[in-house]
Each structure stands twice: as C-alpha cells, then as structure tokens.
Amino acid sequence: MRWDLFCAVVDNLGDIGVCWRLARQLEAEEGAEVRLWVDDLVTFRRIAPSVDPALATQRLGEVEVCRWDTPFPDVAVADVVVETFGCDLPASYVDAMKARTRAPVWINLEYLSAESWVNRYHGLPSPQPPLTKYFYFPGFAEGTGGVLMEEGLRRRREAFQADAGEQARFLASVNVPQHRSGELLVSMFCYPRAPMAALFDAWESAAQPIRVIAFAETPAAQALVAAGLAAGGSRGRLSGHVVPFLAQDDYDRMLWTCDWNFVRGEDSFVRAQWAARPFTWQAYPQEADSHRIKVQSFLARYLGGSAMGSSAGLVDLWTAWNGLVPQGRLGPAWTACAATRGGLGEIARQWAARLETLGGLAGNLARFCSERV
C-alpha cells in the first residue's frame, strides 16, 4: 500500500520525531511504500543528520522524504493518507483525495495521552463527504493505538544493556568518560521552565556521585554551561557533560546507557519507557497548568498496583519537575527516589513488558487501515 504521511513541525522536535519513526516502521515492518511530507527539513535534520534541506525530494533509507512546499505539487494520492497532529492537509491534495476513484483511507494521528477519555475517541470516523477521516489515538491501554515500538526493540536493548563494553564504546563516541562504579549516570532533555538549578543544588550533596548528560542547544545544556558543569566540571557530588545533539537511534542508546532519564514531550517520553530504566517526564507545559492531568493520568497508570513506598517520592519528583508543586520538594523527593531506585527499576521493567502487550502503533495502524481500504 502506498502511504502519504504529512508532518507540519509546530515547535520542538516531537512532531517530526514521531513521524520519522512511524515512516521507517511502516516501510520496514509493514511493507508499505511511504512518502513523508515535511514542511521543515532543517528541524528534521537535527534528528536525522543525512537529511538535505535543499532537496525537494530525497530518499532516506527506503522512505521518500518530500518537502511540503506551497503551492503543493500535483501528485498522485496514496492509498492511505496520515495527517499527523491535526496538521491540515493541503487543500489541493484533499480535492485530489475526493476525486480519487478509490477513496483513500484518511487518518488523523493524534497526540499521545494517558487520559481515560482516549479509548472513547480512538478509531472514531469523522464524515468529510465523500470521504471519512478516522481519529487514531496512541495510548497506554487496550482500545488505543498503543505506542511506537519497532520489531526487535527489547532484544536489542537488552543486548546493549548487558554489554558494558558496548556502552563504554558508545559513551566514548560522544566524549563521555566511562561510567564510574557507584556513580549515577543521568540524561536530561527538558523544557526551559524545568527547575534544573534547584535539582542541581540537591544533587550537589546527593548520597552518591551524579553525572548529568545534556544535549547541545537544549535548555539542560544551557543550564550545565551556566553552572560551569558542561565539560566534566564538578560541584560537590555533581558533574556534567554536554554532548552533541544525537541522531535518533544514538539518543536511544544514551537512554539505554543511563541509570535515570529526564525526558519531555512525546517521543523521548515513550523511548524512556522502552529503555526500562527509571525516568522523569516533563509534559509540554500548558496554560493554567492543564498539563497536570496528563502527568497525573500517566502516573496513575505507571504506578497503579505498585506497592512500593517510593511511589510517593516519584509522584513528588514528577509534580515538582512539572512545576505543579513548590520546587523545594525536589530535593527530598529525589532523596526518596534514589533510596528506592532498585524498586523503581523493577516498576520500569514491568511497565515496558506491559506496554509491549499492546503491540506497536505502526502495526496496529496498518491493520486498522487495511480493514478500511
């Protein structure tokens, strides 16, 4: 089947991060012929260094990447059309969809949420006569589209996490000295309003040495630079490194290597879950803290059933990191979490195993579409 994926980069990297993964998985695992339309190739190149923003059309692996220009070129409509995150398709393309002899399957891929209402809306049709658009919701529960999970992900991750040599080679490849025993390696990818300075202060007198890794041209990197911790500098128990912004697959390896990951938005959020290590999520900040429900909904699913005392510490850490409770709670919350890191590691492993039972979003979506072609 021929697929057209449309990605309008709003801000940040998540939109293209999700679309690039989906395109690759549909092509590699579902036998789809994928054309990915992107309106901002410069941002795309940050996560896929081989992208050439000057080219209107190029092949990345087996995926055809096309620059979404205006006016939109006159192209043949695909069998399946995926409008991601409500990006509104080009009007001329929608006209062509309506004129197509065989109606294409029209999908609107929604943002990921753990909220309970998702199940009710997942897969619902929206009449766009003579066509029908379907709302497709990623999610963490039965009755949703699941999340992106490529074939062999757990096997590759487990092999990498079992091989200290490979991890050391990976760290060396980004100029980070080898993981020191008794030291906690932490990756940090967050939004500017995350209370980084308060957490750095707490880590300065932590129970064990902590080394933070941040990624060039991101808020956490700026915070490390400001704290004089960007190139291995240290303050008390805390030291830091700023590494280059990594290609998506290398970012995965960093998540697999670290003992704790601070992530944000949508795609890094999901990848941290697949890393099966303790993590802290900063939701995309919204007006009036309306991201509170997103954080609480996910924590309720993630911690649901876990008797561990440290759940309280984790809830405090996440809500303080998301600016939902006073940042003064960060230090004590971290201390509580660090003390029960083993248990939180078990929660992370159990969660990744549960998430796997939903099946990968790319395969689930391909099945959904093949039933409607």
Site residues (vs ligand TRH, CB under 6 A): 10-15, 17, 47, 111, 189, 215, 245-246, 248, 251, 264-269, 284
Spatial CA neighbour of 11 closest among 67, 122, 85: 85
- Tokens standing for residue 49: 């260094």
Kindly state the smallest distance separating residue 19's Cβ from ligand TRH, in Å: 9
Kindly state the smallest distance separating residue 185's Cβ from ligand TRH, in Å: 15
SS3 for the chain, per residue?
A: CEEEEEECCCCCCHHHHHHHHHHHHHHHHHCCEEEEEECCHHHHHHHCCCCCCCCCEEEECCEEEEECCCCCCCCCCCCEEEEECCCCCCHHHHHHHHHCCCCCEEEEECCCCCCCCHHHHCCCEEEECCEEEEEECCCCCCCCCCECCCCCHHHHHHHHHCCHHHHHHHHHHCCCCCCCCCCEEEEECCCCCCCHHHHHHHHHCCCCCEEEEEECCCHHHHHHHHCCCCEEEEECCEEEEEECCCCHHHHHHHHHHCCEEEEECCHHHHHHHHCCCCEEEECCCCHHHCCHHHHHHHHHHHHCCCCCCHHHHHHHHHHHHCCCCCHHHHHHHHHHHHHCHHHHHHHHHHHHHHHHCCCEHHHHHHHHHHCCC
Nearer to ligand TRH, 148 or 317 (CB): 148
Give residue number: closest CB to ligand TRH: 14
Kindly state the smallest distance separating residue 357's Cβ from ligand TRH, in Å: 23
Kindly state the smallest distance separating residue 227's Cβ from ligand TRH, in Å: 19
Nearer to ligand TRH, 10 or 124 (CB): 10
Kindly state the smallest distance separating residue 244's Cβ from ligand TRH, in Å: 8
Nearer to ligand TRH, 18 or 77 (CB): 18
Kindly state the smallest distance separating residue 193's Cβ from ligand TRH, in Å: 12
Nearer to ligand TRH, 215 or 298 (CB): 215
Nearer to ligand TRH, 75 or 324 (CB): 324
Nearer to ligand TRH, 113 or 364 (CB): 113
CA 34 to chain centroid, in Å, comes to: 21
Catalytic residues: 15, 266
Q: Are 139 and 145 in contact (CB under 8 A)?
A: yes
Nearer to ligand TRH, 192 or 309 (CB): 192
- Tokens standing for residue 245: 């912004």
Kindly state the smallest distance separating residue 286's Cβ from ligand TRH, in Å: 9
